[in-house]
Amino acid sequence: NNDKSLGENMDYKIIGIDPGAGIMKATEKAIADYELSEWKLIEGSSAAMTAELKRAYDKKEPIIVTGWSPHWKFSKYDLKYLEDPKGSFGEKENIHTITKVNLEAEHPSAFKLLEQFSWTEDSMNEVMMEIINGGEPEKVATEWINQNGELVSRWKEGIRKVDNDKLILGYVAWDTEIASTNVIAAVLSDIGYDVTLKQVEAGPMWAGIADGSLDAHVAGWLPLTHADYYEKFEGEFIDLGANLEGTKIGLVVPEYVEIDSIDDLK
Ligand code: PBE
Angle (CA) 159-162-166 rounded to 5° is 120
Please give the distance, rounded to the nearest whole angstrom, from the Cα atom of residue 157 to the centre of ligand 1.
30
> Which numbered atom of ligand 1 lies nearest the CA of 46?
7
Please give the distance, rounded to the nearest whole angstrom, from the Cα atom of residue 143 to the centre of ligand 1.
26
Report the run of H or E that residue 231 belongs to, with start and end. helix 227-233
Looking at residue 138, which CATH number applies to its domain? 3.10.105.10
Pocket test for ligand 1, best of 45, 49, 68 (most atoms within 8 A of CB): 68
Task: Supply φ then ψ for residue 119, to 5 degrees.
Answer: -145, -175
| 112 and 242 both lie in a single domain | yes
Answer yes or no: is 195 within a domain.
yes
Answer yes or no: is 1 within a domain.
no
Ligand 1 pocket, residue 21 CB under 6 Å: yes
Ligand 1 pocket, residue 249 CB under 6 Å: yes
| 42 and 73 both lie in a single domain | yes
Q: Give CA–CA dist 136/148, Å, rounded.
A: 18
**Whose CA is closest to atom 3 on ligand 1?**
21
> Which numbered atom of ligand 1 lies nearest the CA of 202?
9
Q: Give CA–CA dist 95/222, Å, rounded.
A: 6
Q: Give CA–CA dist 65/53, Å, rounded.
A: 7
| 159 and 256 both lie in a single domain | no
| 232 and 100 both lie in a single domain | yes
| 69 and 168 both lie in a single domain | no
Please give the distance, rounded to the nearest whole angstrom, from the Cα atom of residue 204 to the centre of ligand 1.
14
Answer yes or no: is 207 within a domain.
yes
Answer yes or no: is 32 within a domain.
yes
Q: Which residues pair with 222 in a beta bridge?
A: 94
| 147 and 86 both lie in a single domain | no
Looking at residue 82, which CATH number applies to its domain? 3.40.190.100
* Alpha helices (runs of H) in 148-226, residue ranges in sequence order: 149-155, 175-190, 202-210
> Which numbered atom of ligand 1 lies nearest the CA of 226?
9
Please check whether residue 87 is in contact with residue 215, taking contact to mean a CB–CB distance below 8 angstroms: no
Q: Give CA–CA dist 170/200, Å, rounded.
A: 7
Structural domain range at position 201 = 94-246
> Which numbered atom of ligand 1 lies nearest the CA of 24?
10
Pocket test for ligand 1, best of 89, 174, 206 (most atoms within 8 A of CB): 174
| 139 and 87 both lie in a single domain | no
| 219 and 103 both lie in a single domain | yes
| Structural domains of the chain, count | 2
Q: How many CA atoms lie within 13 A of 32 on its CB side?
A: 8
| 257 and 223 both lie in a single domain | no
Answer yes or no: is 66 within a domain.
yes
- In angstroms, how far apart are the furthest CA atoms of the chain? 68
Ligand 1 pocket, residue 68 CB under 6 Å: yes
Task: Supply φ then ψ for residue 261, to 5 degrees.
Answer: -135, 150
Rounded to an integer, what is the distance from CA 255 to the centroid of its chain? 23
| 126 and 77 both lie in a single domain | no
What size, in residues, is the chain?
266
pLDDT at 2: 54
| 14 and 107 both lie in a single domain | no
| Exposure class string for 3-17: b at 16+ Cβ within 10 A, else e | eeeebeebebebbbb
> Which numbered atom of ligand 1 lies nearest the CA of 249?
6
| 228 and 239 both lie in a single domain | yes
Q: Give CA–CA dist 24/209, Å, rounded.
A: 22
Its ipTM equals 0.97
Q: What is the pLDDT along the chain (266 residues), one digit of tens a residue?
A: 456 889 999 999 999 999 999 999 999 999 999 999 999 999 999 999 999 999 999 999 999 999 999 999 999 999 999 999 999 999 999 999 999 999 999 999 999 999 999 999 999 999 999 999 999 999 999 999 999 999 999 999 999 999 999 999 999 999 999 999 999 999 999 999 999 999 999 999 999 999 999 999 999 999 999 999 999 999 999 999 999 999 999 999 999 999 999 999 99
Pocket test for ligand 1, best of 81, 172, 229 (most atoms within 8 A of CB): 172
